[in-house]
Amino acid sequence: MYYNESTLVFLDGNWVKASEISVSLYSQTLHYGIGVFEGIRSYKTEDGNKIFKAKEHFERLQYSASKMEIDLPYSVEELIEISYELLDKNGLGDAYLRPLVYLGENMSLQTESESHVLIGAWEWGRYLGDKQLDVMTSSFQRPNPKSCFVEAKVTGHYTNSILATNEAKRSGYDEALLLDLNGHVAEGPGANFFFEKDNVLYTAPKGNILQGITRQTIFELAEELGFEVIEKYFTPTEVYDADGAFFTGTAAEVAGIRSLDCKFFKKPWEHTMGYELASAYKNRVQKKEYKNFELV
Ligand code: PMP
């Protein structure tokens, strides 16, 4: 699914076949979850391939690497150039790009200095699909921000996301919603969360969440559309009473939510601000304009 015999990836300055790469079983990343990564989307637009907010994603990769004391010997500009080349070499347009910085052999608990930079890409549908989601409040909390850098995209952080997703799926839901250490709503396993009440949007403030690049795009689009967005702490109980809700993320884009803990939101998805924002987002990534709530 992610590669075939002819797929090329970028690895440490070379273009190599994905099927021919080998990684040491003693990689520190494999044992301890210390690696940093990004999830980026490219869109085939009228002006050719466009990697959405490439600069912001690679700046976050650099931030994540620096927090974990991982060597990342490429500039943002170089990483962007490599990414466009990767798409061309593999004949990809609408694609998902996965840069990963993983580490060499080291069984100690101090960051290994040998790092490897991999960028691969593949075609990937919307992560949470297109149907409105039934979501459960997870019994797992997001990590305490004093236990890690929550704003860094570190491989090991995702064991928390996997536990929450497994629990939600096992319980018959589509997705999980995780609380922070104080019992306030934080985010999904791989996406930020917004809800709508009386024509105002609410989302968790920074501090206990990954500050999503899509979340930031939603702030920008909301401003353009004249929608008010308030960042504040809130509990699931407050969300039960909402008119609508949605997740935002590079892989998920803007994904509508139908219910939280079997409490159904008041408005049909098509009548919510989230729906308008989902259309606006679709247009923005395609670099089109958004006028009068219509796709143009
Ligand atoms: N929160 C978490 C935990 C995530 O993994 C992601 C996906 N990167 C997001 C939020 C959304 O971030 P972005 O919009 O930058 O993809």
Q: For the domain that residue 204 is a member of, what is the CATH number?
A: 3.20.10.10
Instruction: Give the CATH number of the domain where residue 70 resides.
Output: 3.30.470.10
Ligand 1 mean position, distance from CA 190 (Å): 5
> Do 226 and 141 reside in the same domain of the chain?
yes
Atom of ligand 1 nearest to the CA of 210: 1
Q: Is residue 127 part of a domain?
A: no
Single pTM value for the model? 0.96
Based on the fold, state whether residues 175 and 66 are members of the same structural domain.
Answer: no
Percentage of the chain beyond pLDDT 70 is: 97
Catalytic residue among 131, 153, 169, 232: 153
The C-alpha atoms of residue 68 and residue 59 are separated, in whole angstroms, by 14
The confidence score (pLDDT) of residue 292 equals 43
Report residue 157 as tokens: 């952080």
Mean pLDDT score, 14-20: 98
- 154 and 54 in a single domain? The answer is no
Residue range of the domain that includes 15: 8-122
| Minimum-distance ligand 1 atom for the alpha carbon of 189 | 3
What is the predicted pLDDT for the residue at 100?
98
Q: Which of 52, 214, 218, 277 to mutate to test the pocket of ligand 1 (most atoms within 8 A of CB)?
A: 214
Tell me how many degrees the CA angle 89-103-4 measures, rounded to the nearest 5.
30
Q: Decide whether any atom of ligand 1 lies within 6 Å of the 249 Cβ.
A: yes
Average pLDDT, the chain: 95
Indicate the residue among 122, 143, 167 that finishes a domain: 122
Measure Cα distances from 66 to 29, 100, 109, 154, 274 in Å: 16, 14, 17, 11, 34
- Ligand 1: distance of its center to the CA of 269 in Å? 22
35 and 177 both lie in a single domain:
no
Measured CA to CA, the distance from residue 154 to residue 38 in angstroms comes to 9
Q: Over the stretch 121-160, which tens digit does the pLDDT of each residue have?
A: 999 988 888 899 999 999 999 999 999 999 999 999 999 9
Task: Identify the burial level of 49 via C-beta atoms within 10 angstroms of its C-beta, where 0-12 means exposed, 13-18 middle and 19 or more buried.
Answer: middle
Q: Which two tokens stand for residue 150?
A: 């929550």
Residues 99, 150 within the same domain: no
Split into its structural domains, the chain has a count of: 2
User: Does 191 contact ligand 1 (Cβ within 6 A)?
Assistant: yes
Q: What is the pLDDT of residue 68?
A: 98
Q: What is the dihedral of CA 5, 99, 253, 84, to 10 degrees?
A: -70
What is the residue with the minimal CA distance to atom 5 of ligand 1? 190
Query: Average pLDDT for residues 82-99, to the nearest whole number?
Result: 97
What residues contact residue 57 under an 8 Å CB cut-off, 6+ apart? 38, 39, 40, 99, 213, 250
pLDDT in tens, 165-187: 999 999 999 999 999 999 999 99
111 and 147 co-located in one domain:
no
> Are 116 and 150 in a shared domain?
no
Residue 129 CA to ligand 1 center (angstroms) comes to 16
In the chain, alpha helices (H): 28-32, 54-67, 76-90, 158-170, 213-225, 236-240, 273-285
What pLDDT does residue 220 have? 97
153 is an active site residue: yes
Task: Quote the pLDDT of residue 289.
Answer: 55
Q: Examine the domain organization and report whether 148 and 242 are in the same domain.
A: yes
User: Is the shortest distance between the CB of 164 and ligand 1 below 6 Å?
Assistant: no
Q: Helices 54-67 and 213-225, interaxial angle, to 10°?
A: 140
**pLDDT tens profile 247-294:** 999 999 999 999 999 999 999 999 999 999 999 999 999 876 544 444
* 73-84 average pLDDT score: 98
Residue 30: its pLDDT value, please?
98
The CA 266 to ligand 1 mean position distance, Å, reads 26
If asked whether residues 78 and 207 sit together in one domain, one would say no
Nearest to 2 by CA among 23, 17, 24, 12: 17
Q: Which of 260, 243, 265, 266 is nearest to 136 (CA)?
A: 260
259 and 164 in one domain?
Answer: yes
Q: Do 210 and 246 fall into the same domain?
A: yes
Q: Residue 23 has which token pair?
A: 């990684």
Q: How many angstroms is it from 191 CA to the middle of ligand 1?
A: 4
- The pLDDT score that the predictor gives to residue 296 is 39
> What is the per-residue pLDDT across 23-75, written as a single tens digit (0 to 9) for each?
999 999 999 999 999 999 999 998 899 999 999 999 999 999 999 999 999 99
Where does a domain end: 99, 122, 145?
Answer: 122
Measured CA to CA, the distance from residue 129 to residue 255 in angstroms comes to 8
42 lies in the same domain as 109: yes
Domain boundary among 100, 122, 144: 122
Overall average pLDDT of the 199-208 stretch: 98
Is 212 close to ligand 1, i.e. is its CB under 6 Å away?
yes
**Cβ(143) – ligand 1 distance below 6 Å:** no
Classify residue 161 as exposed, middle or buried by CB count within 10 Å of its CB (0-12, 13-18, 19+).
buried
**Where do the H-state alpha helices sit in 109-253?**
158-170, 213-225, 236-240
Q: Is the pLDDT of residue 76 over 50?
A: yes
